[in-house]
């Protein structure tokens, strides 16, 4: 989240899924807000490359929503009052819960109806029927476990999960085998399983994973040296980091840090 101080205003919560669905769900999360009349928050988030399903209330696009992986910062203007309970999927998750193609969801936010995808609509509707964050998380565990029994994860889905895990592990190093070599497959296979499950290729996924870490480190109140951070995360130099962050987040690292200080003051 590019303005993490807003988390307190939103009453944000994260809930880990039941281990039996951990190959499908990365995390559940919930936010709730109530803004004064006329107040708006331009919220931007550099998201982990993932498909997210959400149940939304209040001043929101639709009651049931699917959001694809985002190549840039996800952005929404927050107004009025509302709440969101969301399911952030692992790469293998979409195929378990829906017939949609990940590539067709990239950079988009879509209302989920029976016409959009009947499986996803039925699953989200069942979760939405419960009240309360913990109750919805428990129902989601049950609904997704049943979906997993009907649509088990195949070899491609498991490889896609493993590739993303590996990229997260490699955040601070430029060394090591290529992804293909690490998993004993071809580059084309790595590209295919990520494209099919997330909708993005390895280079884009690597970029987003790295920029998430940049945003997290810049939010540290103790401060961070950009040149040091660039070296730690494998950028060619500080200028490369600054350009990459601005290109995706829409603001420079310096402007981002200044906005954090303004929010905290």
The domain locations on the chain are 6-150, 155-264
The pTM (predicted TM-score) of the whole model is 0.86
Tell me the DSSP string of 35-100.
PPTT-EEEEEE---S--EEEEEEESSS-SEEEE---SS-EEEEEESEEEEEEEEEPTTHHHHH-S-
Kindly report, residue by residue over 193-223, the tens digit of the pLDDT: 999 999 999 989 988 888 888 888 887 878 8
What is the rounded distance in angstroms from the CA atom of residue 146 to the CA atom of residue 140?
10
Tokens of 211: 């920029």
Kindly report, residue by residue over 29-79, the tens digit of the pLDDT: 998 877 778 877 666 677 789 999 999 998 788 999 999 999 877 777 777
Does domain 155-264 fall under CATH 1.10.3720.10? My reply is no
């Amino acid at each position: 989240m590019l303005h993490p101080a807003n988390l307190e205003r939103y009453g944000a919560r994260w809930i880990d899924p039941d281990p039996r669905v951990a190959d499908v769900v990365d995390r559940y999360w919930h936010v709730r807000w109530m803004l004064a009349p006329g107040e708006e928050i331009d919220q931007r988030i550099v998201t982990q490359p993932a498909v997210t399903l959400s149940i939304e209330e209040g001043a929101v696009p639709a009651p049931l929503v699917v959001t694809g992986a985002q190549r840039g910062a996800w952005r929404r203007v927050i107004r009025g009052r509302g709440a969101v309970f969301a399911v952030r999927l692992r790469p293998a998750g979409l195929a378990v819960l829906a017939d949609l193609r990940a590539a067709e969801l990239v950079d988009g936010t879509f209302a989920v109806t029976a016409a959009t995808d009947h499986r996803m609509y039925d699953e989200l509707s069942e979760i939405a029927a419960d009240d309360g964050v913990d109750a919805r998380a428990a129902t989601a565990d049950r609904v997704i476990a049943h979906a997993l029994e009907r649509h088990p994860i195949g070899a491609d889905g498991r490889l896609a999960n493993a590739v993303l895990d590996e990229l997260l592990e490699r955040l601070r190093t430029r060394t090591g085998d290529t992804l293909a070599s690490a998993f004993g497959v071809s580059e084309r296979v790595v590209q295919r399983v990520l494209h099919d499950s997330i909708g993005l290729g390895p280079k884009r996924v690597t970029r987003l994973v790295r920029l998430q870490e940049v945003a997290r480190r810049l939010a540290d109140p103790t401060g961070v040296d950009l040149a040091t951070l660039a070296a730690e995360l494998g950028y060619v130099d500080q200028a490369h980091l600054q350009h990459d962050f601005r290109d995706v987040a829409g603001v420079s690292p310096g402007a981002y840090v200044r906005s954090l200080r303004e929010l905290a003051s």
